[in-house]
Amino acid sequence: MPEQTRPAARDPVVQMRQMTRRSLFTGSIAAGAGMLGLTWLGATAEDEGIPWPLRRVLTLNEGLARAAFRQQSTASEFAAQAAEEPRVNGSIGLDNPPPGTAAQIQVSSAGRELRVGVDVLKRMTRVEHTTELKCIEGWSTPVTWAGIRLRDVAEHFRLAGSYVALETPDRAYYVGLDAASALHPQTLLCFEMNGEPLSSDHGAPLRLVIPVKYGIKNLKRIGSIRFTEDRPADYWAERGYDWYAGL
Amino acid sequence: MQVLKSKHARVTRWSHWLNVPLLAGMIWSGLRIYWANDVYEIAWGNHVLFHFFPDSFYDLLQLRHRLAAGMAWHFTLMWLFILNGVIYVGYTIFSGEWRYLIPGRHTLREAWQVLLHDLHLSRIAPPARKFNGAQQIAYTGVVLMGLASVVTGLAIYKPVQLAWLTYLLGGYPLARLEHFVLTLGYVVFFLIHITQVIRAGWNNFRAMITGYELTSKEAFHA
C-alpha cells in the first residue's frame, strides 16, 4: 500500500484529533450494535434448550456435515490390547432389570412391525472393532466392541428410511440417527464389550455402538429400532445439544 | 512540523478489532466445553502445580454446566472467527502488507535485540520500521496460531470423517490438548501485546484506531 498523506490544508494535529474522535465514535456504534445483537440473541425464544438462532446454525452445520459425510471414512481402529473399561456415564432407561436371554426387540419400517429375538440377531455375521468411545464431555476410551452390523440387520429384514429411531424398553432414553450414519459399516448392535458379554450397566442384552457419533447416541439396552422418514426425537437434542452430534 | 502518515489499512483495523470479541467468545464458549472434562494440569511428578482451572475461575465466568450452550456458541462463532481470519489474511496477501510482516533472514537477531532492549538489558533501540523483528515474529506467529486452532479444532470436531487429520496430530486426546494449549498461547500473546501497546504509547495506539499516525516531517521523508 503506497504511503499517503492527507491534504495538508489544516493542522495535522487538529486533523488527527478529529479522526480519532470519528473513529472512536464509529467503534462505539459498532460495539453498541454488537451488544444489542447479543442482548437480542439472549432474549430470543429457545428451540430445544438453546436460543433458536444458535439452533439454526447447528442445523446448518448438520447440513454441511451430512453433505460431506462419507461412509468410507471410518473411526481409527486400535489394537485390542489398547482397550479399556469405559466409564459408566449414564443410566437413563436402565432402571428396570435387563430382559433375559429371550429378549425381543421391536423393529419397524414402513408400517411393517416385527419382533426379533436377540438370540436370532446374535447368529448373524459377527463384527469386532476396537474404537474410541468419544463422550461429548470431551473424554474418550478405546473399547473393543463385538456385535452385528446394523446395516446387515437392515438388509436382512429389508428395513429402509431416511432416519432411524432407537428407544430403551421403558422409552426413557431415545436417540435419532440419520440413515447414512446408522448404516455406517462400524455401526453395531453390540452384545460384547472387551471380550465379555455386555453388562447391565453397559446396556445388556443389546446396545448401539456408533463410532461416527458422540457417546450420547450410543444407546444402551435397545428396546426398539424404527426406520422412518420423519426426523426422530432425541433425548439430548431436546436438552440443548446438537441433534446430529456427528464426528 | 508534524504530518499524518497512513499506517494501518481499514480492513486491517476492522478485522483486528472484530477479532477481540470473536476470539473472546471462542475462548469463553471453549471453556464451557472444557469444564465438562477439565483434566489438564501442570504437575511435577505427583505434585500438582496448577490445575486448569480453579473453582473460583469457573464460578467467576459462569462456566459450569453449560456444555450444550458452550458447544452451540462455539460452533456458531467459529464461522465468524474463520471468516474474519480469511478476510485479514486475504487482504494482507493481496495488498502486499505481508512484506512488513513476514520474518526475513535478520528477523531473529533483530527480535533478540528488541527483547534485550525492552528488558532494559541493551541500549540499542529497535529499528523505526513499521514492524520490528519481534513484532514480525509475534504477529505472523499469532496468525499461524489461529490457523492451527482451526486445524486442531477440525480434528476434534470431525475425528472420524477427518480421521487422517486427527491421526497426523497424534490422535484424538492429543489434538484436544493441542487445541487447549493454543488457547493458552493467545492469553500469553494478549498479555505481552497489551504491555507493549501501553509502552509504545498513544500515537501508536491511535494508529490502530484511525489508521494514521503523527510523525515528524523529517522522519516521513526518510
CATH number of the domain bearing residue A130: 3.90.420.10
Q: Are residues A114 and A187 in the same domain?
A: yes
**CATH assignment at residue B113:** 1.20.950.20
Q: Are residues A29 and A79 in the same domain?
A: no
Answer whether A140 sits within 8 Å of B69, measured CB to CB. no
CA distance B3 to chain A (A): 6
In the numeric block, which cell numbers belong to residue B160?
Answer: 472420524
Answer whether A137 sits within 8 Å of B37, measured CB to CB. yes
Q: Are A164 and A208 in contact (CB under 8 A)?
A: no
In the numeric block, which cell numbers belong to residue B220?
Answer: 516521513
Q: Is residue A2 part of a domain?
A: no
Q: Are residues A125 and A205 in the same domain?
A: yes
In the numeric block, which cell numbers belong to residue A154?
Answer: 437392515
For B160, the closest of A5, A34, A247 (CB atoms) is A247
| Residue owning grid cell 541493551 | B122
Displacement of CA B33 from its chain's centroid (Å):
20
Q: Are residues A128 and A159 in the same domain?
A: yes
CA distances from B185 to B100, B115, B180, B182 (A): 23, 18, 9, 5
Q: Which has more confidence, B82 or A4?
A: B82
Strand pairing report for A104-109 and A224-228:
parallel
Displacement of CA B143 from its chain's centroid (Å):
6
Q: Is residue A69 part of a domain?
A: yes
Q: Is residue A142 part of a domain?
A: yes
Q: Are residues A113 and A29 in the same domain?
A: no
Query: Which 3 state secondary structure label does DSSP give A19?
Result: helix
Answer whether B34 sits within 8 Å of A138, measured CB to CB. yes
Q: Are residues A107 and A28 in the same domain?
A: no
Answer whether A136 sits within 8 Å of B71, measured CB to CB. yes
Which of B10, B17, B28, B76 to mutate to probe the A interface, most A CBs <10 Å?
A: B76
* A23, A24, A26, A31 alpha-carbon torsion, rounded to 10°: 140
Mean pLDDT of B109-120: 87
User: A224 forms bridges with which residues in the sheet?
Assistant: A106, A167
Q: Are residues A218 and A142 in the same domain?
A: yes
Answer whether B39 sits within 8 Å of A68, measured CB to CB. no
Q: Is the pLDDT of residue B5 over 90?
A: no
Q: Looking at beta carbons, which residues of chain A come within 8 Å of B159? A: 75-76, 134, 247
pLDDT band at B88, cuts 50/70/90? very high
How far apart are alpha carbons A218 and A165 in whole angstroms? 12
Q: Looking at beta carbons, which residues of chain B come within 8 Å of A76? A: 159, 163, 166-167, 171-172
Q: Are B52 and B21 in contact (CB under 8 A)?
A: no
Q: Is residue A62 part of a domain?
A: yes
Q: Are residues A151 and A235 in the same domain?
A: yes
Q: Is the pLDDT of residue B150 over 80?
A: yes
Using only C-alpha atoms, chain B has a radius of gyration, in whole angstroms, of 20
Range of the domain at B32: 2-221
Q: Are A171 and A223 in contact (CB under 8 A)?
A: yes
Answer whether A34 sits within 8 Å of B71, measured CB to CB. no
pLDDT at B20: 96
CA distance B119 to chain A (A): 31
Answer whether B4 sits within 8 Å of A15, measured CB to CB. yes
Range of the domain at A35: 11-43
Q: Is residue A17 part of a domain?
A: yes
Encode burial over A168-178: b for 16+ CB neighbours within 10 A, e otherwise.
Answer: bbeeebbbbbb
Query: pLDDT tens-digit profile of B32-55?
Result: 999 999 999 999 988 999 999 999
Q: Are residues A57 and A141 in the same domain?
A: yes
How far apart are alpha carbons A117 and A112 in whole angstroms? 16
Q: Is residue A97 part of a domain?
A: no
Instruction: Name the domain count of chain A.
Output: 2
Answer whether B76 sits within 8 Å of A134, measured CB to CB. no
User: A175 forms bridges with which residues in the sheet?
Assistant: A166
Mean predicted lDDT score pLDDT of chain B: 92
pLDDT at B219: 59
Q: Are residues A53 and A125 in the same domain?
A: yes
Annotate A160-200 with DSSP letters as a single string.
--SEEEEE-TTSSSEEEEEHHHHTSTT-EEEEEETTEEPPT
**Which residues of chain A are under the pLDDT cut of 50?**
1
Instruction: Name the domain count of chain B.
Output: 1
Q: Is residue A230 part of a domain?
A: yes
In the numeric block, which cell numbers belong to residue A153?
Answer: 440387520
Q: Is residue A247 part of a domain?
A: no
Annotate chain B with DSSP letters as a single string.
-EEEEE-S-HHHHHHHHHHHHHHHHHHHHHHHHHHTT---EEEETTEEEEES--HHHHHHTT-TT-HHHHHHHHHHHHHHHHHHHHHHHHHHHHHSTHHHHS--TTHHHHHHHHHHHHTTS---PPP-SSS-HHHHHHHHHHHHHHHHHHHHHHHHHSTTTTHHHHHHTT-HHHHHHHHHHHHHHHHHHHHHHHHHHHHH-HHHHHHHHHSEEEEEHHHHH-
pLDDT at B123: 85
Q: Which has more confidence, B28 or B3?
A: B28
pLDDT band at B222, cuts 50/70/90? very low
Q: Are B153 and B175 in contact (CB under 8 A)?
A: no
In the numeric block, which cell numbers belong to residue A173?
Answer: 432414553
- How many beta-carbon contacts under 8 Å exist across A and B? 122
How far apart are alpha carbons B192 and A235 in whole angstroms? 45
Q: In 3D, which of A213, A202, A184, A218 has the Cα closest to residue A84?
A: A202
Q: Are residues A128 and A147 in the same domain?
A: yes
Q: Are A82 and A130 in contact (CB under 8 A)?
A: yes
Residue B142, number of CB atoms within 10 A of its CB: 16
Q: Are residues A205 and A228 in the same domain?
A: yes
